Chain A
Amino acid sequence: DSGVTQTPKHLITATGQRVTLRCSPRSGDLSVYWYQQSLDQGLQFLIQYYNGEERAKGNILERFSAQQFPDLHSELNLSSLELGDSALYFCASSSSAGSGNQPQHFGDGTRLSIL
């Protein structure tokens, strides 16, 4: 158990809809990262928050947004969903803002299926 909790585990919705994925980081971790894993691909970095502030952005679509709340949990909002958004979405957390040698701790992911 990594200590990172992601809800829901599965989400099925239709094109054009909007969904919210939730992540609770490991106790004491201030950084939250969101990754997308499409079929047979590696994890693609989307966005990082550190202590409530956006820290780094990757290849995140404009239809996607995220935030980190004062209690440090984070939400990833996906809107105007397209078939290609079907993927596994992982949240990870770490204690620091940026030190590449510290491992990130991953949740079990949310599987999003767009019909």
Chain B
Amino acid sequence: DQQVKQNSPSLSVQEGRISILNCDYTNSMFDYFLWYKKYPAEGPTFLISISSIKDKNEDGRFTVFLNKSAKHLSLHIVPSQPGDSAVYFCAASFVNDYKLSFGAGTTVTVRA
């Protein structure tokens, strides 16, 4: 049962513009949501997270928005840079359970 879904397998954006990645989840009991970034031949690296009690978290060019009523979160990257070209995974977890439930990922390509 896929509890975290990323329905857009790919996204192409021009350098300098905003990238918006979307993620939906089905389990309203998730406590944390995390975004990971993955380059080819490397493991995922942590990008940013948000607690379920918040609706926004910002870290430099990266902002995550959480809409609990819609069970939806999004990652905004502004401005997009060529180094942002990667696969982005949305993940969710519970406070007392560290295992992560991952979405299938969205491949972002930043065009020059």
Interface of A toward B, CB cutoff 8 Å? 2, 4, 6, 31, 33, 35, 40-45, 48, 56, 58, 90, 92, 94, 96-109
Contacts and interface: CB of A to CB of B under 8 A. Distances in A.
A31 B46 contact: no
Contacts of A35: 100, 102
Given A98-B96, A101-B51, A42 B42 contact: no
B43 A33 contact: no
Prevailing SS type, chain B contact patch: strand
B44 A90 contact: yes
A54 B112 CA distance: 47
B14 interface: no
Contacts of A105: 46
Contacts, number: 79
Prevailing SS type, chain A contact patch: loop
Give the interface centre of A35, A45, A100 by most chain B CB atoms within 10 Å: A100
Interface string B85-111: 000010001111111111111000000
